[in-house]
């Protein structure tokens, strides 16, 4: 808790005030460090260069066509300008809905009207200033301070809408994950930014031999590879749409009722509350929606004057309360991160399989990218609920125009992967220290032999980084709990693997290599 005076909080009662939160200040500082290192990495600079090579001159023309001076002169200065204006926001809550960490608060440009048909926004005008009365020139954008601690802050969910639609397809339409749907656009319309007619919505891929128009995907694969057309079309079903919007209304989600009438809402084109959207994803864990909050408890002179658990505003609200369908969707969210659009985090967090579940989202023209996910360093989430977090990572630019920040797989998943790797390694170290200290207390042979300690570290390094043939051993050892079980075997005073019995350790490795612990989606129809 942080102590302040009652008068500082404008409380009627004076005295020493203790404000208890679930916030992890050390984690926040680590997140800031990770973000800074990532944004300055050569990898991300290459992503920005590749993504803007064909559009930066178009962005420049937005200024010159209006008689304005662009804030850059060539491609290199464009990239420098873009780099300075990249904005990363992170918000994480625990399963109780308490805010654990937050990074963000910069200004960025948000369209006043949702991008219903993926039309480009107007470029910002840095040379136009409002009059003292606020009635100056305006484009179709306005500057909005996106402070993720501000409950009114909004974000475009993009493809993170798809798992919600998949859940309601199962609940309202009796769909199964194995049911197949055709990849077909909904309408053929004129897109002003391209000066031509085109089919809408579009997918991230072009129709070709590998992805022909009309190809069918089951509900699981449609999420794993993120097929826009299928979810836009699913949303046009009145029963599904009504059930989903009723759920949104039940939890008080701030969304546009007008936008919700049209299919683009089904692929996340309309802005929603940042905190509430994170709360909706948090509800996938146990079906209960909890409004994210910062303050857990307030005490004055040791007397509790506020308790979040007793505040009706933060009472649990049933949202994803169809257990079978929710569990099926959770399995899909794992698969998205195991082998789908979320799997790009593996370069930053090689132990991600079956520890991370979530969905990516990328706005048209890659103007913003998003990743919302659940993480627990333990395979058995139920036994370690206190370690589960739900986290939103958003990457955007605060300059508008035709600027790409890359896809969700280029930045948000990478940043999340680095954060999750930090948390995993931290928990692993605590687990190892605890078990090794216990062995030192209980086993006199182990206690004073540094060679044995070195053997333990060598064996654990093998389990963490070694291979079963061409596959990492870590593919079959899921979570800190599995590694804890392996460490107990290494420290066992009967087998004494820690003494350097490599042949017995090899048997342990083979045991894990023979396991099939990957979460697999059962494609057979549910009963």
* pLDDT higher than 60, residue 121: no
Whole-number pLDDT of residue 35: 94
Supply 369's token pair.
């990218």
Cis ω for the linkage preceding 201 (within 30 of 0): yes
Dist CA 207 CA 214 (whole Å)? 9
Instruction: Check whether residue 454 and residue 415 sit in a common domain.
Output: no
Q: In whole angstroms, give the CA distance from residue 460 to residue 286.
A: 33
Instruction: Single out the residue of 228, 370, 368, 372 nearest to residue 356, CA to CA.
Output: 372
Whole-number CA gyration radius for the chain: 25
Both tokens assigned to 228: 């826009």
What is the CB neighbour count within 10 angstroms for residue 250? 12
Q: What is the pLDDT of residues 384-428, one digit of tens each?
A: 999 999 999 999 887 777 888 888 889 999 999 999 999 999 999
Q: Which of 147-151, 203-207, 268-272, 356-360 has the lowest mean pLDDT?
A: 147-151
CA distance 394 to 65: 31
Taking 70 as the threshold, does the pLDDT of residue 118 lie above it?
A: no
Q: Do the domain assignments include residue 432?
A: no
- Is 280 a member of any domain? yes
In a domain, 252, yes or no: yes
Residues 25 and 157 in one domain: yes
**Closest Cα partner for 295 from 283, 307, 281?**
307
- Tell whether 339 is covered by a domain: yes
Domain that holds residue 264: 2-40+85-121+139-175+236-424
Same domain membership, residue 107 and residue 11? yes
Indicate whether 149 and 280 sit together in one domain.
Answer: yes
Structure tokens at 420: 């999750």
pTM to 2 decimal places: 0.86
Q: Domain total for the chain? A: 2
Q: 295 and 402 share a domain?
A: yes
Helix ranges (DSSP H) in 156-218: 162-173
Residue at which a domain ends, from 424, 457, 472: 424
Instruction: Let me know whether 114 and 263 are in one domain.
Output: yes
pLDDT tier for residue 120 given thresholds of 50, 70 and 90: very low
Q: How many CB atoms lie under 10 A from the CB of residue 365?
A: 18
Half-sphere exposure of 467 (CA within 13 A, CB side): 3
348 in the same domain as 264: yes
Tokens for 29? Answer: 């500082």
Report whether 243 contacts 171 (CB < 8 A). yes
Q: How far apart are CA 487 and CA 370, in angstroms?
A: 37
* Same-domain pairing of 382 and 448: no
Q: What is the CATH number of the domain that holds 279?
A: 3.40.710.10
Among 397, 424, 451, residue at a domain's last position: 424
Same domain, 330 and 447: no
Whether residue 412 contacts residue 393, with contact meaning beta carbons closer than 8 Å, is answered with yes
Clarify whether residues 404 and 271 are in a common domain. Answer: yes
275-278, long-range: CB < 8 A, 24+ apart = 275/91, 275/148, 275/151, 275/153, 276/251, 276/252, 277/155, 277/157, 277/160, 277/253, 277/372, 277/392, 278/91, 278/93, 278/372, 278/390, 278/391, 278/392
Give dist(CA 365, CA 362) in Å, integer. 8
pLDDT at position 373: 98
User: With contact defined as beta carbons under 8 Å apart, do 300 and 148 qualify?
Assistant: no
Q: Report if residue 386 sits inside a domain.
A: yes
| 94 within a domain of the structure (yes/no) | yes
Residue 411 within any structural domain of the chain? yes
Distance CA 235, CA 262 (A): 8
Q: Please report whether residue 162 resides in a domain.
A: yes
**Last residue in a domain, options 370, 394, 424:** 424
> Within 10 A of 227 (CB to CB), how many other CB atoms are there?
25
Is there a contact between 251 and 317 (Cβ–Cβ < 8 Å)? yes
Q: Examine the pLDDT at 138 and tell me if it is beyond 80.
A: no
Average pLDDT, the chain: 86
- Do 450 and 386 lie in a common domain? no
Report d(CA 6, CA 18) in Å as an integer: 9
Both 403 and 297 in one domain: the answer is yes
Can you tell me the distance from the alpha carbon of 389 to that of 102, in angstroms, rounded to the nearest whole number?
Answer: 12
């Amino acid at each position: 808790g942080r102590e302040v005076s009652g008068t500082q909080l404008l409380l009627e009662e004076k005295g020493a005030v203790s404000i208890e939160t679930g916030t992890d200040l050390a984690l926040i500082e680590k997140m800031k460090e990770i973000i800074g290192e990532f944004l300055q990495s050569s990898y991300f600079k290459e992503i920005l260069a590749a993504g803007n090579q064909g559009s930066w001159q178009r962005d420049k023309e937005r200024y010159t066509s209006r008689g304005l001076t662009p804030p850059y002169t060539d491609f290199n200065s464009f990239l420098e300008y873009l780099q300075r204006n990249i904005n990363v926001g992170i918000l994480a809550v625990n399963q109780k809905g308490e805010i654990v960490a937050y990074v963000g608060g910069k200004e960025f440009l948000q369209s006043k009207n949702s991008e219903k048909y993926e039309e480009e926004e107007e470029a910002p005008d840095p040379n136009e200033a409002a009059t003292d009365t606020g009635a100056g020139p305006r484009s179709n954008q306005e500057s909005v301070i996106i402070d993720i601690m501000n409950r009114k802050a909004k974000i475009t969910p993009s493809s993170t809408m798809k798992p919600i639609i998949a859940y309601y397809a199962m609940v309202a339409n009796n769909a199964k994950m194995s049911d197949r749907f055709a990849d077909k656009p909904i309408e053929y319309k004129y897109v002003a930014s391209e000066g031509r007619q085109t089919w809408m919505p579009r997918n991230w891929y072009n129709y070709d031999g590998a992805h022909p128009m009309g190809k069918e995907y089951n509900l699981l694969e449609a999420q794993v590879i993120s097929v826009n057309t299928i979810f836009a079309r699913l949303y046009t079903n009145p029963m599904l749409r009504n059930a989903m919007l009723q759920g949104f209304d039940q939890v008080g989600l701030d969304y546009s009722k007008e936008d919700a009438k049209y299919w683009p809402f089904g692929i996340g084109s309309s802005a929603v509350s940042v905190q509430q959207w994170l709360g909706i994803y948090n509800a996938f864990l146990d079906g209960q929606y909890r409004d994210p909050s910062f303050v857990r408890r307030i005490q004055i002179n040791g007397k509790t004057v506020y308790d979040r658990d007793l505040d009706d505003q933060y009472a649990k609200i049933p949202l994803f309360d169809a257990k079978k369908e929710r569990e099926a969707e959770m399995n899909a969210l794992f698969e998205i991160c195991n082998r789908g659009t979320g799997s790009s985090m593996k370069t930053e967090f090689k132990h991600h399989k079956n520890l991370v579940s979530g969905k990516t989202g990328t706005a048209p023209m890659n103007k913003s990218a998003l990743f919302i996910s659940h993480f627990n360093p333990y395979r058995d989430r139920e036994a370690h609920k206190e370690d589960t977090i739900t986290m939103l990572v958003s990457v955007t630019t605060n300059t508008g125009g035709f600027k790409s920040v890359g896809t969700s797989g280029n930045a948000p998943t990478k940043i999340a992967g680095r954060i999750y790797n930090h948390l995993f390694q931290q928990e692993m170290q605590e687990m190892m220290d605890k078990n090794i200290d216990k062995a030192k207390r209980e086993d006199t042979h182990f206690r004073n032999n540094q060679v044995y300690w070195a053997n333990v570290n060598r064996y654990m390094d093998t389990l963490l980084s070694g291979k079963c043939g061409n596959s990492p051993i870590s593919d079959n050892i899921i979570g800190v709990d599995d590694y804890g079980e392996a460490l107990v075997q290494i420290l066992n005073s009967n087998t004494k693997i820690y003494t350097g019995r490599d042949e017995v350790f090899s048997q342990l490795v083979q045991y894990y290599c023979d396991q099939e612990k990957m979460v697999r989606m059962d494609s057979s129809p549910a009963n």
